[in-house]
Structure 1
Amino acid sequence: MKKIIIFILILCSTPITLLFGASTKLDNPAQPEINPVQITLASEQTGPPANETIKSAHPKLKYRGTLLLNSPHPAFGGFSDLLVSKDRKTFLAVSDMGFWLKGSLLYTQAGFLKGVGPKAELGQLLNTEGKTFTVKYDADAEALCRAPGRTPHPGYLLAFERVHRINHYYSGKKMDLSGKATTLPLPEQLKNSPLNGGIETMLLLPDNTLFALTEGDDSAGPFSEAALLSTGKWTSFKYKRNSSYRPTSAGNLLDGRILILERKYEGPGTLGIRFCTIDRDKIKQGATLEPEIFCEINLPIPRDNYEGMDIISDPDGRQWIYIISDDNFSPVQHTLLSLFELNIAPFN
C-alpha cells in the first residue's frame, strides 16, 4: 500500500510534470513529451575507504567500494535490478515504480569505485501500447537482463510482479529501455506466481538461454519456481530456499556456476545479505536445485536492501560484482551501489 501511494504522488507531482513535459496537446496528458529526461545524479563514497583492508567472508572476494547515490528528482529510487556495460563505464537500473536510470561510473586508478557522472538519464517504461504505466500494479519491474539473440545487441528483458510477465525492450541503443514493449510467453508456474512473489531474478546464460527465478513466498513451502528458456521452450524446475532468505538477482561466474544474490529481512536487526551458487549443468526438467552458500556480506561493508546484481568479466579473468539496493523511498534506507572483485579460475 505504501508504494502504491508513493507511485501516485510521483506521477502527480509538479516536478514530474515539468521534467517529463506532459502537455495538454497530447491525446493523453499523462504521456511525456520527452522520455527519457536528463537528471542530476550525485554520489558519495561510504563505508571502508580504499586504503583500508577488509577481511572478506570468501578468500577470493575483495571489497572495491560503495557509493551512496542521490538525485533531487522525485522518481529517483526503488531500484530492483541493474546491468553494467562490458567496459564497466555505464550502468542501467530499473525501479519498481516503472522507471529506468542510465548513468556513468567512475573509478580510482587502482580500480576502487569512486563516483558517478553528474548527468544521467531517467526514463519511464512503456507498455505494449507504447504508453507509460498509470498504476503501480502494472509497473512493478523486478528483474532485468540482456535478451537472448544472435545479433550484437538484441535488447533487454524486464520481468514484472503482480501482473506476472516478461517484456522485451529494444530501442536500438545500448543500455537503454526506451520504446514500446513486446511480451514473451511464460510457462504456467511462473504466470501463476504469488502476487508479490513473482520473477525476481533473470539472467542470460553464456549458451544464450534465459534463466528465470521467482522470489516465492511461504504458501509454497521452501521452494521458488524457476525455469530455463532455450530455443523457444521452457524447462521448469524448483529452487530450494534456505531459512528466511529470498533470491533477488543472479550473475554468471567463469567457473560455470550461477551466483545468486539473496536477502532476508524479518524486522529490525534481521537484515541479511549473502551470495549463493547453483550449477548450471544441474538444471533439468522437474529438478530441485539447492544452492550452496558462497559468502555473507557483513559489516563494515555497508548493507541495505540489496536487490540487483550484475557481473562483468575482464580479459584478465577477474570478475567484477555490482549490487544495488532498493531504498523503498524510505528516509531510513538508501540507494547503495557496491562493487566486489572476484578471482576464481575459469571453467575448463
Structure 2
Amino acid sequence: MRLAALPRTLAAALLLCGGFVLPAAAATLLLCGGFVLPAAAAGPLLSDGTPVALSAARIERFARGEDTTRFGRLTFLGGLDITSANRDVGGLSGLIVLDAGAEILAVTDNGLWVTFGLQQSADGTPLALRAPRFTPMLDAKGIELRRTQSSDTEAVTLGRNRGKQELFVSSERSNRILRFPWPPAADSRLISGVETPKALRELRGNKGLEALAAAPDAGPLGGALIAIGERGLSQTHDLPGFIIGGPRAGTFSITRSDNYDATDAAFLPDGDLVLLERRFNLRDWVGMRLRRIAADEIRPGAVLGGEILMEAGPAHQIDNMEGLAVHQDAQGRTILTILSDDNRSLLQRTLLLRFRLED
C-alpha cells in the first residue's frame, strides 16, 4: 500500500525518520512455502541485474532507549536501516529469504526485483549488505511491469506449479497473482496470471490484495496459495482471505481489530501461518503486529483470530512494515525477517528487522 505523504511535524512525532471451484489448470498448482525450498539459482540471484548502491546502518535495539530483546514470543536479533540515492529501489514491499538467511529477494511496489546478500552473525543478526542489484519485472510481452496496470506489486512467495519452482507475486491495485520463472533474471518475463475467484479480483483498489504465502505441501492445505486482502469493504469488516488450489480451496476471513490492516504473511516450518499487520492513523500513530494462525483452522468459511506473537508501536524501531519472510537457520531455529516500505519518502525508512521465534 502507498501511504500518503506525512507532514514533517507528524513524522517527527512518529519517529519515522530515526469456496470457489478452480479450473483444472489452477487446481493443479502444487505450492509449498518458500522457507523449505532450496535456493535453486546457480550463483547469485540477478547476477545480470543492475548494481545499485545501498548503505545500511545497524539497529541494535528494537525498543528505543531500552536493552530489552524479548518482545512477546519473539527475540530481537538486530536490524538494518537501509538507504539509497536511487529512489527507484525504495518501496520494498515483499521478500523471500534464501540460503539460511544469507540472501534476500524483494519486490518493490513499482514492479522491480531487488536482491542483495546479507552478511549475518551465527545467530542470524544482520550485519551488512552485499552486492545489491535490481531489474524491472517484465510482462509476457517484455514491457516493464511498472508501466502497466499491474505495477503495484506488494508481496512475493516461492512455490511450485506442477512440480516446478516459480515465483508468485501479488499486484494490489489490479488484484492479480502473477507467475514468474525461478530464479529471476533481467530478461525473465511474466508466465501468466493465476486463476482466482471473483471476490479476490473485486477487492478494493488501494486496500486490495496485499499478503501472499505458499503453504507447505505436507500440511492440511496441501501446498495452496493463501492470499489476504489489506482490508475488507470497510474498516468494520474482517480481512478477506482466499485459499487457492489444494484440498481446501475456498474463502475465509480474519478478524480485523485495533485498526490493523494485513500487509504480508508467511508459513512457519510447522505449517502455521504468520500474518503481518500494519497500522497508521492520527490517533494510534504507527503500529506493527504479528499473529499466528493454526494451519488446521484455515478452511473455507472459517473466521480466524489467531495468537498475537508480538505488537510494537512508536516506541519501537518500526515504520510502514509490509514484508515478512520465514526461514530456519543451520541449528533449526525459526527466524522471521520483516521489511518496511518507505514509499520513497524522505520522511520514512527502509528497515530490515530480524527476530527469532521462541517456541
User: SS in structure 2 opposite 1:238?
Assistant: strand
Deviation at 1:95, TM superposition (A): 0.9
Partner of 1:82: 95
Question: Relative to structure 2, which stretch is displaced further, 290-299 or 328-337?
Answer: 290-299
Partner of 1:18: none
The match for 1:275 among 285, 290, 311 is: 290
Partner of 1:21: none
Distance 1:175 1:343 in 2: 36
Distance 1:4 1:123 in 2: 26
Deviation at 1:72, TM superposition (A): 2.3
Distance 1:270 1:220 in 2: 16
TM value normalised by structure 2: 0.78
Alignment of 1:257-276 (within 5 A): 257-267=272-282, 270-276=285-291
Distance 2:74 2:187 in 1: 32
Alignment of 1:1-348 (within 5 A): 36-48=49-61, 53-58=67-72, 60-117=73-130, 119-133=131-145, 135=147, 137-149=149-161, 151=163, 154-170=165-181, 172-173=182-183, 178-207=188-217, 208-219=223-234, 221-231=236-246, 234-267=249-282, 270-298=285-313, 301-314=316-329, 316-344=331-359
Distance 1:114 1:197 in 2: 34
Distance 2:110 2:196 in 1: 22
| Cα separation, partners in 2 of 1:55 and 1:45, compared to 1, 3 Å | closer
Distance 1:177 1:67 in 2: 30
Distance 2:137 2:92 in 1: 13
Distance 2:313 2:74 in 1: 13
Distance 1:194 1:243 in 2: 20
Distance 2:178 2:306 in 1: 27
Question: Relative to structure 2, which stretch is displaced further, 256-265 or 326-335?
Answer: 256-265
Question: Relative to structure 2, which stretch is displaced further, 313-322 or 176-185?
Answer: 176-185
* Paired residues of 2:101 and 2:329 also in contact (CA < 8 A): no
* Paired residues of 1:156 and 1:177 also in contact (CA < 8 A): no
| Amino acid corresponding to residue 191 of structure 1 in structure 2 | R
| Higher RCO (C-alpha under 8 Å, 6+ residues apart) | 2
Superposition RMSD in Å: 2.9
| Amino acid corresponding to residue 197 of structure 1 in structure 2 | K
| Cα separation, partners in 2 of 1:315 and 1:74, compared to 1, 3 Å | closer
> Highest CA radius of gyration, 1 or 2?
1
Question: Which structure 1 segments of 5+ residues have no match?
Answer: 6-33
Distance 2:268 2:56 in 1: 28
Aligned residues: 310
Question: Relative to structure 2, which stretch is displaced further, 210-219 or 189-198?
Answer: 210-219
* Paired residues of 2:146 and 2:152 also in contact (CA < 8 A): no
Distance 2:233 2:351 in 1: 28
1:107-164 CA-to-partner distances (Å, cap 9, x unmatched) read 13554211111x221111112322113547430001111123464x511000101111
| Cα separation, partners in 2 of 1:299 and 1:266, compared to 1, 3 Å | closer
Question: Which structure 2 segments of 5+ residues have no match?
Answer: 6-46, 218-222
* Paired residues of 1:140 and 1:160 also in contact (CA < 8 A): yes
| Amino acid corresponding to residue 236 of structure 1 in structure 2 | T
Distance 1:198 1:173 in 2: 27
* Paired residues of 2:141 and 2:189 also in contact (CA < 8 A): no
Distance 1:176 1:297 in 2: 37
Distance 2:341 2:98 in 1: 20
Distance 1:203 1:105 in 2: 22
Distance 2:188 2:209 in 1: 22
Distance 1:146 1:111 in 2: 21
TM value normalised by structure 1: 0.80
